[in-house]
């Protein structure tokens, strides 16, 4: 493919001392304008787009010396050494935790990391099972297997201090995939939560040949003496040495090692994809990519004037949260960690930690939207006057925020009457701004949450292969919905996909597959030349597999994944993720999850819908009292059984859902014709959702195949209605 060459790289600042709170982020007028590079249009492709801040170059670091994650961290450990770095709730009993978050400073975290890394290196060097393995003296890969916690971050920083690449395991990978990753990487050591140790020994026992290099396990928590003794004996029989975290740290204190600074082209981490269509691919992420990602995010994402506080609730095994951590460590923020994983623990920990920044995913923000609407404009227990007041305040806020860029819509009266109460209910008393990524989100959801909470709201786009975000919208723009212009470390263009109906000459702006190039883009997949050649072309463009549109302001709108698009029998192409987001945003009073399905043998869509039973009952009581009497007083399971066997009930629910989305611009063929209702039918543990709550469509199709066939056999519930 002919292409203009990659432009030169440069640092954002010439000197580290120029990095100040006032200098970053850039003002919106600098980082939220894009340009089409003159002379870059070619047949089959759009123009190349860059940030207006980088018209003939790209940034690849904040300052010349900050060219690796190591150097970024060392700077922060020095200038923020006495400030809070991480914070957790101490465990006070077998199933109890303190109500107070206890912090550790940057200086303490540095020494924790240095000691743990030294101990890890020493004990691995002295490991009696090392002979006969293929473990190198340096650059071996450390694996981490745990929920989010401060020790996860310390283990990661330890690797960086000693130039040790790492990778992450997580529960939903399954044993076969975990064995594949450990075997491919020849990882000699896994630092794991204590409840994972037995599972890891199971893997070694099941395939000792493939995992012959796995000779050391580190339990993050101290084990009961009897449990430790039993596991140690079992591990020893499998040629594995088991240590507790404190033992490794003590060894590091006794036998300190000198730090080993990585080079920009050193591997920071291997991030493995979910591998839903085959073995997972390990994206190679370099230290130079981290440096470029920090340059982009620090120049683009809003930050409060006071010290940043962020609660880490997205899995650290995924690159989105790793980028969030890197940005906040660069800025000197404090990172809080929930005492336990799971969505039910998010709000209780938010109420205790009270962050001023929050990073999440669309499905979580859709839940927040539903909760806030149920407490205000859709509250069945509130008087009509109270519901009207809530609606008036939120609509006024929306109007103010849509009047000009940068407008928060602050009002002393309205904030006291409503907004402050809503913020406190979620633990967002001090919230300044939020970032969403990982999947598209409805513009209406953004508008509502901005108004209800009075915060800036960034929507970003990125991939594992680009060290997370490469573009992000302004936090307080009048017309949200885009992912902003391409960032300062990357350039982009669109490739025509005429077979799907998207070209660079489309009315309303060019559309096609999004291609990316720049310092954040990965160099390839680990030990997988075939997939690398598919992803990266000879000119360095990464083919994302995402369909996007670019508007007249050079802002990027992600439509859907190429592989997600499907054609109905009448020839219309459907982008299911966009449709799902519209339903989720428009039906928040009772819809919490949705999976939209269609195929080339049918001319309409069906869906699997997760509902909130209380919200659904309230809707039926309010809109269909005769139908509501069928489910009045029943248990949730009984309600679902009644609905599934009642065409009348299902039709009423579906008709309301389609009325709710009527103003969102969906075509008739994009609306659901039949549905199966459940309570949280889409679950991470069923491998239907990723840990970041993205839908795994292939897995969902397999799980719900019989249900989907039954919906088509039942036929359309709305065939004779006007859509």
- pLDDT(513) > 60: yes
Question: Taking all residues of the chain, what is their mean pLDDT, rounded to a whole number?
Answer: 93
Of 192, 193, 181, 171, the C-alpha closest to 141 is: 181
Q: Can you read off the two tokens belonging to residue 631?
A: 């489910």
The pLDDT of residue 342 is 87
The pLDDT of residue 721 is 54
The pLDDT of residue 77 is 98
* Structural contact between residues 674 and 606, judged by C-beta atoms closer than 8 angstroms: yes
Q: What are the residue ranges spanned by the domains of the chain?
A: 69-88+102-262, 565-714
Q: Can you read off the two tokens belonging to residue 212?
A: 């012959």
For the segment 44-48, the average pLDDT, to the nearest whole number, is 97
- Per DSSP, which regions of 473-510 are E strands? 490-495
Each residue of 604-623: pLDDT tens digit? 999 999 999 988 988 898 88
* Structural contact between residues 496 and 503, judged by C-beta atoms closer than 8 angstroms: yes
Contacting residues for 143 by C-beta, under 8 A, at least 6 apart: 166, 167, 168, 169, 181, 182, 185, 187, 189, 190, 191
CA distance 412 to 417: 9
- Fold exhibited by the domain 69-88+102-262: Rossmann fold (3.40.50)
CA distance 594 to 617: 18
The pLDDT of residue 277 is 58
CA distance 124 to 114: 16
Residue 497: pLDDT band (50, 70, 90) is very high
Of 712, 468, 723, the C-alpha closest to 603 is: 712
- pLDDT(206) > 80: yes
565-714 CATH pick, 1.10.286.10, 3.40.50.2300, 1.10.1240.10, 3.30.300.30: 3.30.300.30
- pLDDT(45) > 70: yes
- pLDDT(709) > 80: yes
CA dihedral sign, ordered 249, 253, 256, 258: positive
Each residue of 97-140: pLDDT tens digit? 999 999 999 999 999 999 999 999 999 999 999 988 999 888 89
Which of 150-171 are b and which e, b meaning 16 or more Cβ less than 10 Å from the residue's Cβ? bbbbbbbbbbbbbbbbbbbbbb
Determine which of 291-300, 419-428, 571-580 has the lowest per-residue pLDDT on average: 571-580
Each residue of 319-361: pLDDT tens digit? 999 999 999 999 999 999 999 998 899 999 999 999 999 999 9
Tell how strand 91-93 and strand 96-97 pair up.
antiparallel
The pLDDT of residue 251 is 98
- pLDDT(431) > 80: yes
Which residues share a beta bridge with 490? 518
Q: Can you read off the two tokens belonging to residue 167?
A: 């990778």
* Structural contact between residues 673 and 658, judged by C-beta atoms closer than 8 angstroms: no
Of 390, 376, 332, the C-alpha closest to 357 is: 332
Residue 723: pLDDT band (50, 70, 90) is very low
Of 180, 317, 173, the C-alpha closest to 696 is: 173
- pLDDT(223) > 70: yes
């Amino acid at each position: 493919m002919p292409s203009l060459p990659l432009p030169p790289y440069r640092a954002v600042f010439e000197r580290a001392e120029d990095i100040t709170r006032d200098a970053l982020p850039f003002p919106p007028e600098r980082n939220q304008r894009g340009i089409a590079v003159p002379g870059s249009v070619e047949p089959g492709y759009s123009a190349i787009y860059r940030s207006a801040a980088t018209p003939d170059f790209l940034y690849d670091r904040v300052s010349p010396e900050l060219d690796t994650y190591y150097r970024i961290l060392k700077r922060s450990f020095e200038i923020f050494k006495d400030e809070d770095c991480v914070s957790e709730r101490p465990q006070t009993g077998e199933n109890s935790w303190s109500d107070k978050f206890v912090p550790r400073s940057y200086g303490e975290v540095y020494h924790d990391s240095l000691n743990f890394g030294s101990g890890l290196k020493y004990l691995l060097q002295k490991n009696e099972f090392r002979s006969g393995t293929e473990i190198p003296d340096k650059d071996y890969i450390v694996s981490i297997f745990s929920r989010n916690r401060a020790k996860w971050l310390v283990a990661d920083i330890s690797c960086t201090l000693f130039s040790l690449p790492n990778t992450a395991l997580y529960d939903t990978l399954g044993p076969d995939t975990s064995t594949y990753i450990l075997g491919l990487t020849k990882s000699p050591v896994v630092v794991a939560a204590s409840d994972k140790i037995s599972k890891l020994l199971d893997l070694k026992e099941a395939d000792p040949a493939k995992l012959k290099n796995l000779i050391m396990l580190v339990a993050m928590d101290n084990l009961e003496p009897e449990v430790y003794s039993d596991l140690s004996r079992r591990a020893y029989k499998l040629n594995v040495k088991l240590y507790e975290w404190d033992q490794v740290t003590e060894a590091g204190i006794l036998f300190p090692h000198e730090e080993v600074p990585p080079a920009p082209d050193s591997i920071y981490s291997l991030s493995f994809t979910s591998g839903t269509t085959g073995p997972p691919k390990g994206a190679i992420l370099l230290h130079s990519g981290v440096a470029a990602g920090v340059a982009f995010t620090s120049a683009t994402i809003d930050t409060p004037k006071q010290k940043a506080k962020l609660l880490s609730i997205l899995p650290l095994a995924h690159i989105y949260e790793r980028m969030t951590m890197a940005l906040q460590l660069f800025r000197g923020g404090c990172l809080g960690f929930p005492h336990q994983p799971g969505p039910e623990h998010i709000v209780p920990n938010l109420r205790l930690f009270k962050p001023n920044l929050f990073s999440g995913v669309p499905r979580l923000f859709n839940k927040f939207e539903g909760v806030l609407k149920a407490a205000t404009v859709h509250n069945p227990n509130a008087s009509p006057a109270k519901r009207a007041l809530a609606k008036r305040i939120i609509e006024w806020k929306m109007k103010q925020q849509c009047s000009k860029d940068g407008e928060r819509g602050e009002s002393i009266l309205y904030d006291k009457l409503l907004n402050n109460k809503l913020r406190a209910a979620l633990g967002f008393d001090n919230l300044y701004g939020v970032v969403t990524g990982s999947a598209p989100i409805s513009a209406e959801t953004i508008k509502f949450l901005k108004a209800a909470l009075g915060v800036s709201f960034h929507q970003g786009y990125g991939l594992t292969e680009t060290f997370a975000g490469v573009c992000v919208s302004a936090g307080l723009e009048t017309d949200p919905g885009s992912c902003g212009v391409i960032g300062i470390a990357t350039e982009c263009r669109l490739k025509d996909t005429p077979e799907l109906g998207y070209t660079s000459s489309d009315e309303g702006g060019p559309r096609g597959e999004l291609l990316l190039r720049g310092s954040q883009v990965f160099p390839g997949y680990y030990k997988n030349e075939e997939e690398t050649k598919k992803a990266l072309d000879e000119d360095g463009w990464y083919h994302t597999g995402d369909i996007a549109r670019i508007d007249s302001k050079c802002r990027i709108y992600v439509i859907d994944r190429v592989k997600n698009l499907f054609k109905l029998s009448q020839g219309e192409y459907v982008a299911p993720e966009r449709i799902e987001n519209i339903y989720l945003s428009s039906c928040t009073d009772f819809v919490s999850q949705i999976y939209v399905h269609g195929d080339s043998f049918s001319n309409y869509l069906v869906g699997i819908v997760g509902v909130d039973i209380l919200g659904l009952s309230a809707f039926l009581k309010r809109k269909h009292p005769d139908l509501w009497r069928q489910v009045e007083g029943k248990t949730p399971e009984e309600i679902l059984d009644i609905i599934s066997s009642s065409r009348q009930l299902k039709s009423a629910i579906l008709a309301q859902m389609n009325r709710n989305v009527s103003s969102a611009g969906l075509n008739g063929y994009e609306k659901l014709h039949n549905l199966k209702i459940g309570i949280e039918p889409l679950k991470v543990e069923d491998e239907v959702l990723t840990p970041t709550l993205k839908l795994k469509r292939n897995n969902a199709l397999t799980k719900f195949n019989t249900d989907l066939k039954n919906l088509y056999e039942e036929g359309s519930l709305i065939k004779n209605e006007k859509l």
